[in-house]
Amino acid sequence: MQTSKSNPNKNNNDNAAKPVHSGHRERVKNKFLRDGLDNFEPHEVLELLLFYGIPLKDTNKIGHLLLDKFGSLSAVFDAPFDELLKVEGIGKSSATLIKLIPQICRQYQENLDKDKNRIFSYDEAGRLLVKKFIGRKNEFIVLMLLDSKNQVIFCGIVSEGTATTANIYIKKIVRLAVQYNAVYAILSHNHPSGECMPSQQDLSSTIWIYEALNTVEVKLIDHIIVSGNDFLSIAKSGIMPNVFNSEFDME
């Protein structure tokens, strides 16, 4: 009778086939499904996100590396694609996944606001326009057009520049105002550098656009400068009383 002998390598092979953190990913996912992200540390947020871009590696370690390099969760998402690739463990797929998040956030916010189509104050216009710049690292110019009842009839990008400047296409702005039969217009652009105060060029551009829109009987009622979650309403600030006056009060 031949007796069976156990294979001394069997357990070793079984163990080798399992990831070092077997079951860890499932526990992290279940924690999120149960509690959301409120109790997650920033590196854990990145760890969970990277599960879907990096199938086998320890993404907890990569999350720490990202935070060490860029300093904060928002800075990781705002980091240039090429800089993300310099972090150990980050490839093109995971870098693309990271860059996708701010864009999704902007689409989500804009979709939530799609039915909020009436503007009652300068601050409300500013809060809506801030969302147009989520995840944008270059300078963009956004035009908002309103009818006589303050209903938003158009709100979109009219120009894109580099990280420091953008060309303003006055003819395009005037053409859109006429096309939508607008009564009022609000101009907005972002300062990627992080400062809301208008430059001399911003003030000069405001005057040019104000005068151009006047030729088609559309009144420019504000120029809003956005930086991150902050914004400045030139009309409300009183910086340009010769352009923005009390004839139009949205408060």
Residue carrying structure tokens 């990096």: 54
Classify residue 6 by its DSSP letter. Answer: -
Q: Coil, strand or helix: which one is 187? A: strand
Phi, psi of 143 (to 5 degrees): -115, 130
Picking from 111, 204, 104, 189, the residue whose alpha carbon sits closest to that of residue 144 is: 189
Give kind and range of the element (H or E) at residue 106.
Answer: helix 92-112
Domains 22-109 and 114-237 alike in fold: no
Q: Coil, strand or helix: which one is 121? A: coil
Q: Tens digit of pLDDT per residue, the chain (251 long)?
A: 444 444 444 444 444 444 545 688 999 999 999 989 988 999 999 999 999 999 888 999 999 999 999 999 988 998 999 999 999 999 999 999 999 998 898 788 777 766 657 788 999 999 989 988 888 888 999 999 999 989 999 999 999 887 666 677 899 999 999 999 999 999 999 998 778 999 999 999 999 999 999 999 999 999 999 998 899 999 999 999 999 975 545 54
The reported pTM is 0.63
> What's the CATH architecture for 22-109?
Orthogonal Bundle (1.10)
- Which CATH superfamily includes the segment(s) 114-237? Cytidine Deaminase, domain 2 (3.40.140.10)
* The total number of residues written for the chain in this structure: 251
Residue carrying structure tokens 């009436």: 118
Rounded CA-CA distance 152/114 in Å is: 10
- For the chain, which residues make up each domain, given as ranges? 22-109, 114-237
Amino acid in position 219: K
